[in-house]
Amino acid sequence: MSSIRPGSPAAYWLALPATLWMMAAVVVPVGMIVWVSFWGGRAFSPDSPLSLDNYQRFFANRTYLALVLETLRHTATMMLICGVLGYCIAYFLVVKVRSPGWRTVLFLAFVIPFWTSALIRAIAWVPFLGVNGVINQALLATGLAEKPVEVFLYSRTGISMAQVSLYTLMASGPVVYMLAQIPPALLEAAMTLKAEPVTVFRRVIFPLTLPGVVIGQVLVFLNVMADFATVQTIGGNKIALLPNLVINFYEGAQIRAAAVVAVLLMLCMLAGVAAALRVVDVRRLGAT
Amino acid sequence: MDRLPQLDLEIRSLRKRYGGFTAVDGVSLQVGKGQFVCLLGPSGCGKTTTLRCVAGLEEPDGGDILIGGREVTRDPPWRRDIAMMFQDFALFPHMTVARQVGFGLEMLRKPRAEIAARVAEVLAAFEITALADRKPASLSGGQRQRVALARAMITEPRILLLDEPIGALDYSLRETVMIELKQLQRRVGISFIWVTHDQNEAFSLGDHVVVMNHARIEQQGAPEDILHRPRTPFVAGFVQGNNSFHGRIAGAEGGMLRIAGEAGSFLVPGASRAPGSAASFSVRAERIGPAAAAHANRLAVRCVTVEYFGSIRRYILERAGGALLKLDQFGAEPAWLRQGEAAEIGWAAEDCVLHAVPEEAAPASSAAPAREVVPA
């Protein structure tokens, strides 16, 4: 069989099914969204003249602009919290837990919640965060609070708490992988060259795990930017971020506005990924 | 302390255990100024653990370590006046050669200009200036070795610890690197403590060789001492070119001891010991020859095989009972035995070396395979 040779044309046939599927499920719909976002006029039809009207209308509205900034700010906060927590967890699992058995147990405990869908996990936070929820009951029982804390549910705090629990694994996983690749002799070499532990971390461990950190940050960034479910279930109708705006417009039959927001959202994500790739060449991961 | 430090390193009854396994058991060692010391032994004998305790990478369970006269037993690695070269060099994959070599000076918070000048100087000295901007992944084994050495030497430590430093190199490179390292050590006058399982390395490099087995020191001294006067059956067996015999003291004859064993009865020089007590001795392969009038000790053997190394010809001989012996002859002389031929060999009583410690301290040595100890 000649299909094993890299240059063989037979190899292209192997890529065909996936290509067709990606065309139908991703490329064409994305193209259509971009196209719709430029439809001018009043009629909703493919005959509409192409114009920038929809974008101008969106950017003319200060509320929407504030929402874009708010979404980016919220995402940045999540990236920071998930990144720090995720790094600590990864460091603990790889460096401090020496017994392979315990490492597996702890890693499973950490991963099992992710076997359920993101939507279910978002909804599952509601009974925790409510006025009569588990957290408030615990606070009242231990006397840490005198009356139920209301800011947990239907608030930015609640959304953040839920999203941190949802996405920390994504920040942590790639770091676990990168940390596990570092030969212990490197750290010992640094110490014998008079580097104290903090310096060893700053000069050797962290730079070597940086690709993992960046990939984790990209994953958190993409997921938080796209997460409408958590914002909707835990934020109620009081809080909306960009992805919720897409749904609001769509449900209000403002398809062109929905398309504009969707395109902006995609551009933000593209810019984020491009920025990350400038920091770390993900394609060269694993090659030392 | 104004006491003048006489020794670069002093280890006093060092002990280290991992769970139920004793890795180092009462090791004591003194290293004078600028000495080249080799720790030699089979894997799992405790030589690497000893080195790691000196580096501060392992905390001993007992004993003291003094570097330059200062007690450092509980000090972390970064407070010890040492540098270390690791088996696989442990270069930082994300740093260029220049950055790598300057790392130690950066840690000492030297001014940037001074670091740059010193790095340039050291790179030139190790002939790796051309590699300054390369990263370790693009270097050959020999180049990595030079970078690792330059990185360790730049801070001018009192002691350089080397853990199988040429084990990762191609065989053809090793001899050149050994000569270079020896010359370097003589030139800079830093003490080298070199861990190896290769006796050629240990005996050709070391001023002082420490043979270890089962977490203990079996014998230490000058290479000639260890090669020609093994103190224990282990050293006699571990060092190439010895034939060991075991038996019991049968009596004394004219200032010598007679030792009788399975192989026969032999005359061995030594102070008197209780008759009937266990004893062992060894004789070097090059001291044995065809039986002659001057030989007090004789043995009938059959030639199993002959190995020719150019400078010597080695006969592997089988005696009655099946045990093998080695006999070395100068390679330039004509062969006197062929495979399968029987002969009588002999050697002078004076060529026998009586072992100070007759029986193996740990009889399990041959039954249980030595455990490799490479702490994570």
B305 within some domain: yes
How many other CB atoms sit within 10 Å of the CB of residue B147?
24
Q: Is the residue at A5 inside a domain?
A: no
Tell whether A36 is covered by a domain.
Answer: yes
For residue B161, which residues of chain A lie inside 8 Å, CB to CB?
A: 192
Same domain, A23 and A111: no
Residues B162 and B73 placed together within one structural domain of the fold: yes
Tokens of B263: 């192989």
Q: pLDDT digits over A1-58, tens only?
A: 445 677 777 778 888 999 999 999 999 999 999 999 999 877 778 888 888 999 999 9
| Residues A209 and A278 both lie in one domain | yes
Across B110-116, average pLDDT = 96
Please check whether residues B103 and B89 belong to one and the same domain: yes
User: Which among B364, B327, B353, B324 is positioned nearest to B232, based on CA atoms?
Assistant: B353
Residues spanned by the domain of B51 = 7-226
Token readout for A102 is 């315990």
What's the pLDDT score for residue A284?
57
Q: What is the pLDDT of residue B369?
A: 37
* Of A235-239, B54-58, B345-349, B367-371, the least confident: B367-371
Which residue range forms the structural domain that includes residue A263?
64-284
Confidence at residue A104, expressed as pLDDT on a 0 to 100 scale: 86
Give counts: helices (H), strands (E), chain B.
Answer: 8, 20
Cβ contact, residue pair A190, B93, below 8 Å: no
Q: Are residues B60 and B172 in the same domain?
A: yes
- Among the residue ranges A158-167, B70-79, B102-111, the one predicted with the least confidence is A158-167
- With respect to residue A40, please indicate whether it lies within any of the assigned structural domains: yes
Q: Convert the pLDDT of each residue in A232-268 to its tens digit.
A: 888 887 778 899 999 989 998 889 999 999 999 999 9
Task: Give me the CATH number covering residue A216.
Answer: 1.10.3720.10
pLDDT mean across residues, chain B:
91
Question: For residue A59, is it within any domain?
Answer: no
Q: Specify whether the backbone of B215 is left (phi greater than 0), alpha (psi in -120 to 50) or beta.
A: left
The closest CB to that of A195, out of B78, B88, B376, belongs to B78
Which band of pLDDT confidence, cut at 50, 70 and 90, is reported for residue A281?
low
Same domain, B161 and B61: yes
Mean pLDDT of B242-264: 91
Strand partners, B315: B306, B327
Domain co-membership, B84 together with B210: yes
Closest residue of chain A to B91, computed from CA coordinates:
A186
Give domain status of residue B306, yes or no.
Answer: yes
Chain A residues in contact with chain B using a Cβ-Cβ cutoff of 8 Å: 98, 183-186, 188-196, 199, 203-204, 207-208, 287-288
Within-domain flag for A208: yes
> Tell me, what's the pLDDT at A11?
75
Kindly state whether residue A261 falls inside one of the protein's structural domains: yes
Q: Residue B371 domain-assigned?
A: no
Count Cβ neighbours within 10 Å for each residue of A201-229 and write b for 16 or more, e otherwise: bebbbeebbebbbbbbbbbbbbbbbbbbb
**Is there a domain that residue A7 lies in?**
no
* Mean per-residue pLDDT, A266-281: 88
pLDDT by residue (tens digit) across B46-56?
Answer: 999 999 999 99
Dist. CA B131–CA B12, nearest whole Å: 42
- Inter-chain touch A288–B93, beta carbons under 8 Å: yes
Count CB-CB contacts under 10 A for residue B327.
25
Mutate to test the interface with B, among A182, A192, A198 (most CBs of B within 10 A): A192
Kindly state whether residues B190 and B276 are assigned to the same domain.
no
Q: Are B173 and B136 in contact (CB under 8 A)?
A: no
In a domain, B136, yes or no: yes
Q: Which among B93, B204, B81, B107 has a CA at the least distance from the CA of B147?
A: B93
Calculate how close chain B gets to A178, using CA atoms only, in Å. 13
Residues B106 and B126 in one domain: yes
Torsion of CA B125, B126, B128, B132, to 10 degrees: -70
Same domain, A27 and A92: no
Rounded-to-integer distance, Cα B84 and Cα B87, Å: 10
Report the number of distinct structural domains present in chain A: 2
Residues A244, A242: Cα–Cα separation, whole Å: 5
Looking at chain B, which residue has its C-alpha nearest residue A207?
B94
Same-domain status, B107 and B52: yes
- Element spanning A156, H or E: helix A156-181
Query: What pLDDT score does A279 carry?
Result: 80
pLDDT category at A283 given cuts 50, 70, 90 is: low
The predicted-structure confidence for B115-169, as pLDDT tens digits, reads as follows: 999 999 999 999 999 999 999 999 999 999 999 999 999 999 999 999 999 988 8
pLDDT category, B1, cuts 50, 70, 90?
Answer: very low
**CATH number of the structural domain spanning residue B38:** 3.40.50.300
Instruction: Indicate yes or no: CB of A188 within 8 angstroms of CB of B86.
Output: yes
Provide the shortest C-alpha distance from residue A98 to chain B (in Å): 9
Do residues A28 and A140 share a domain?
no
- Angle A100-111/A156-181 helices, nearest 10 degrees? 150
Tell me what pLDDT residue A286 has: 46
Q: At what angle do helices A62-91 and A206-226 cross, to 10 degrees?
A: 140
A198 in the same domain as A75? yes
Q: Does residue A41 sit in the same domain as residue A120? A: no
User: How many domains in chain B?
Assistant: 2
Q: The complex's ipTM? A: 0.85
β-strand B278-284 against B289-290: which pairing, if any?
Answer: unpaired
Two tokens at B100?
A: 């790598």
- Percent of all residues in chain B with a pLDDT value above 70, rounded to a whole number: 94
State how far the Cα of A39 lies from the Cα of B228, in Å rounded to an integer. Answer: 97
**pLDDT for position A282:** 59
3-state SS assignment for residue B23: strand
Name the interface residues of B facing A (CB cutoff 8 Å).
Answer: 55-57, 76-78, 80, 82-84, 86-88, 90-94, 103-104, 107-108, 137, 151-152, 155, 161, 376
Is-contact B151 B103, C-beta < 8 A?
yes
Say if the Cβ atoms of A204 and B92 lie within 8 Å.
yes
Number of residues that this document lists for chain A: 288
Using an 8 Å CB-CB cutoff, list chain A residues near B55: 188, 192
Same domain, B208 and B243: no
What's the burial of B161, exposed, middle or buried (CB within 10 Å: 0-12/13-18/19+)?
buried
